[in-house]
Amino acid sequence: MASLMEDFMNVLEEENEGYQRLTELSQKKRQIIIDGDIPALEAITDQEQEIASRLKNLENKRNEVVGDMSIVLSKEPEELTVTNMIAFLNKQPQEQNKLIELRDKLRDTLRKMADINEQNEALLHQAMELTEFDLTLFRSMRQAPTTANYDNRANNTGDLLANSGFDAKQ
């Protein structure tokens, strides 16, 4: 059981390191979004994908260790939460304290990452709105004034001006 607990704690440490790296990349991404640097955004997204893949592998390994622990302890894997494991370690204060410390570090890291990702999401949303505004502005610059675009039934035709901006047909 001791080796399983060590494996579990090692996986949690590695997961925390992965999430810390993702948090650092998310902070870099904030400035990249502000600058509108699409190639840099693609590169950082590729790095995030690599880390996310590694984290998925660590999650699978953690689930495997929890499964083994559930067999040893004759408990369901769903019952073996970190909080419950801390309670199981009441006779081993050193391991218990290490697990409490790992849990707290992981919570803090995930909280920071969630905050930064919310900020990045808001920035991306604003960038998309600005891009949509720019596209609408460019489209409206190419349209003729609505007062001059009526057909013989007095309906608005919505014709666009030629590329030069000058309508020689009138």
pLDDT in tens, 29-48: 988 888 888 899 899 999 99
What are the tens digits of pLDDT across the range 127-157? 889 888 888 888 777 665 555 566 777 676 6
Residues in the chain: 170
Q: Is 59 part of a structural domain of the chain?
A: yes
Domain that holds residue 33: 2-147
Q: For the chain, what is the domain count?
A: 1
Q: Is 165 part of a structural domain of the chain?
A: no
Give 130's strand partners: none
Q: Is 137 part of a structural domain of the chain?
A: yes
pLDDT of residue 75: 86
Q: Tell me how far apart the alpha carbons of residues 81 and 96 are, in angstroms, rounded to a whole number.
A: 13
Dihedral sign (CA 16, 78, 69, 82):
positive
Sequence-separated (6 or more) residues with CB below 8 Å from residue 95 = 5, 9, 89
Q: Is 154 part of a structural domain of the chain?
A: no
pLDDT of residue 91: 86
Average pLDDT on 2-15 reads 90
Entry pTM: 0.72
Look at 1 and 56; give whichever has higher pLDDT.
Answer: 56
Cβ atoms of 82 and 69 closer than 8 Å: no
pLDDT of residue 55: 95
